[in-house]
Structure 1
């Protein structure tokens, strides 16, 4: 019970019954790193598969053929977006399942070749907790450190490799500070050593270009709700020829590798969402960077503020992690929320924990500064007017807190 944070829940209870009033006010959603709204074009495309073309794609009827073809087309879209073959795409329930499958599947299938896995200290809990589970089974895990910017040193990875290393799993971009790792170079090292390389690209997919061939990626995880698709659907890219244990057992769906009736609406939505994002990925990235940089510039004019993480060119275009020294992040979050501004104090998967962020801690940031840090993550729905409103509101709230 000591690990539960009660303040936010008390706040929610006090606010109960005022939801209509709250959302009648201006809403500025700066938590795109946690989840994104579904694109209207995506929703329009998937809607028929809920009530018109609802046939099971594994059935042999002509009616079910429509669902089967929709899945086929979604694979084509995804394969084109990341430059792979369609039969290298496997659908899952989301990023967490994809990460679990990649790591456990490779570990269990290749235990006769070795029992050593390399990852980093700033991975998502879906990777870190999977690795901890494997440690209990006798696998050896090396958690490579990162620098003060949240970026791994390639030499550390090279030095960590042993004769028993069977997998390197390193996230493409961090969910809290947005640091983009040297993925192509890491993949190159793994190829030279004949080691499988997996990357958790949940935060990167749909926001920065990904080419699995050019970047030497063997396996890749993504989740649709991070790029304007539906929740509950993701993929694991598995390069042809890689041997991996099944994670979900049952029927023969997904060419015998992942059992369970296919989530046709979700699959259609993922394919459409990724296609839409990739169609204007550079333009949207530049627009988001401009707004992110403006937000950062104005916030840094507030005394006692500093940026956590790398410079702007080495981080996700919509990510900004700021330390408001001396101010409790939870109180600041609540105050912003009352003004209709949504942000976060770290990973959405760690909400409710009073422990300092493991990402910020791994970067050498003190517990006090960790508890004073907020993540703002921008996306398609954010305008310059929203940024102006956020800046003026932040200055008002911080001024009020520091004068009381």
Structure 2
């Protein structure tokens, strides 16, 4: 029997995940960490101890060298803004302008930095992707080498919409040939790919967000090399070595440790991949060419995401049908005033606007198993067949 959440089938794990069982159990016991970890009394020291325990756990889990610092923030949007804008501000203060390079399929918190960076005279360049969501390393290197000053590349490890995985090993060559700084958006990696905790140690910074893998919302973390130049986005009391001032969210921070422990204990990537593939194959078989799976032919995809286009159908109508059938799915695109807008990611991959409005994204838990996938596929197909 498949697991239900609030008596519903939840297929939107790329948007957010429910609390991990370990987090839920810990919160339920009521012994919450309320004291300010900067206070020197016993309660404050207890909060600090839980933060330090989480830091040590993260360093061990990701095997990060001592030349990486670690700071916590409210999540990926803040973390990425802190690092990208902080990098630009650091050089702006000394009279220099930076070159920021990112992809057309990056998350909005990256893509929408363009106007603000250009307002201060920085250069922003965007590289494209092919129809499968893969990028051309030669284009990226060439783009970075159009300038000689400080430059920063944002690299999305796993795409939140299409599930395409880019190779971290490529970044060694990019860095060698361009002398750029590199930030990796690692938000969608945990539990969704193999070896998600094996980082390329030449990278300058990585950012993660807790709610994507079962921790609380409003908390994330970044690894940053000591040599990476950036100014803190949030100034204040100088907490976290000045990288992010403000009283730390101790409860949220400790939930990261608990949730990651669950992932390490319970993830079976091979079963996840095969279970997702069973659902995907079943959909294609029953719809007999009436649908297509986005990025199916990419070099590498994650283990939990199916991005489907059903030409001629409207995503908002499909989502409503799934909702009435107690299934939570996503269009993978922005919604405004009840209207589904075409996904920027799909348009960047060459999908026409009409088809981009008919996209559905299914994203599953890292604990998806074959037994569940059989039930899930039957439920999903029962709705889709009504529109065939």
TM-score (norm 2): 0.89
Following superposition, the deviation at residue 186 of structure 1 comes to 2.2
* Aligned positions, number: 377
The answer as to whether partners of 1:183 and 1:215 remain within 8 angstroms in 2 is no
User: Which aligned pairs between 1:344-363 and structure 2 lie closer than 5 A?
Assistant: 344-347=330-333, 354-363=340-349
Rounded to whole Å, the distance in 2 between the matches of 1:353 and 1:136 is 31
Rounded to whole Å, the distance in 2 between the matches of 1:179 and 1:235 is 23
Rounded to whole Å, the distance in 1 between the matches of 2:305 and 2:377 is 16
1:102 to 57, 66, 83: 83
Alignment partner, residue 266 of structure 1: 252
Alignment partner, residue 379 of structure 1: 365
Rounded to whole Å, the distance in 2 between the matches of 1:131 and 1:300 is 39
Change (3 A) 1:24 1:145: closer
Following superposition, the deviation at residue 165 of structure 1 comes to 4.6
1:320 to 306, 309, 313: 306
Deviations 1:203-242 (A, max 9, x none): 1134332457535321111101101111110012111222
Structure 1 unpaired stretches of 5+: 1-22
SS at match of 1:271: helix
The answer as to whether partners of 1:150 and 1:310 remain within 8 angstroms in 2 is no
Rounded to whole Å, the distance in 2 between the matches of 1:187 and 1:165 is 18
Alignment partner, residue 368 of structure 1: 354
The answer as to whether partners of 1:323 and 1:372 remain within 8 angstroms in 2 is yes
Alignment partner, residue 82 of structure 1: 62
Rounded to whole Å, the distance in 2 between the matches of 1:40 and 1:311 is 35
Rounded to whole Å, the distance in 2 between the matches of 1:101 and 1:217 is 17
Rounded to whole Å, the distance in 2 between the matches of 1:79 and 1:92 is 16
Deviations 1:154-201 (A, max 9, x none): 111111012135100121110000111122212431244331100111
The root-mean-square deviation of aligned C-alpha atoms, in Å, is 2.5
The answer as to whether partners of 2:190 and 2:197 remain within 8 angstroms in 1 is no
Change (3 A) 1:265 1:348: farther
Residue 198 in 1 paired to residue 183 in 2?
yes
Rounded to whole Å, the distance in 1 between the matches of 2:242 and 2:257 is 21
SS at match of 2:112: helix
SS at match of 1:325: coil
Rounded to whole Å, the distance in 2 between the matches of 1:160 and 1:340 is 46
- Identify which range, 178-187 or 260-269, moves more after superposition: 178-187
User: Which aligned pairs between 1:233-248 and structure 2 lie closer than 5 A?
Assistant: 233-248=219-234
Rounded to whole Å, the distance in 1 between the matches of 2:122 and 2:308 is 37
Change (3 A) 1:383 1:29: farther
Alignment partner, residue 39 of structure 1: 20
Higher helix proportion, which one?
1
The answer as to whether partners of 1:178 and 1:315 remain within 8 angstroms in 2 is yes
Deviations 1:248-291 (A, max 9, x none): 1111111122111110000001122223323454x2x2121111
2:36 to 30, 36, 56: 56
Alignment partner, residue 174 of structure 2: 189
Alignment partner, residue 160 of structure 1: 143
Change (3 A) 1:243 1:76: same
The answer as to whether partners of 1:34 and 1:347 remain within 8 angstroms in 2 is no
2:165 to 177, 180, 190: 180
Change (3 A) 1:82 1:299: same
2:130 to 141, 144, 147: 147
Structure 2 unpaired stretches of 5+: none
SS at match of 2:307: strand
The answer as to whether partners of 1:110 and 1:166 remain within 8 angstroms in 2 is no
Alignment partner, residue 107 of structure 2: 124
Deviations 1:103-133 (A, max 9, x none): 1011111234542111000000011112332
Residue 292 in 1 paired to residue 272 in 2?
no
Change (3 A) 1:88 1:366: same
The answer as to whether partners of 2:330 and 2:361 remain within 8 angstroms in 1 is yes
Following superposition, the deviation at residue 310 of structure 1 comes to 4.0
TM-score (norm 1): 0.86
Rounded to whole Å, the distance in 1 between the matches of 2:368 and 2:220 is 25
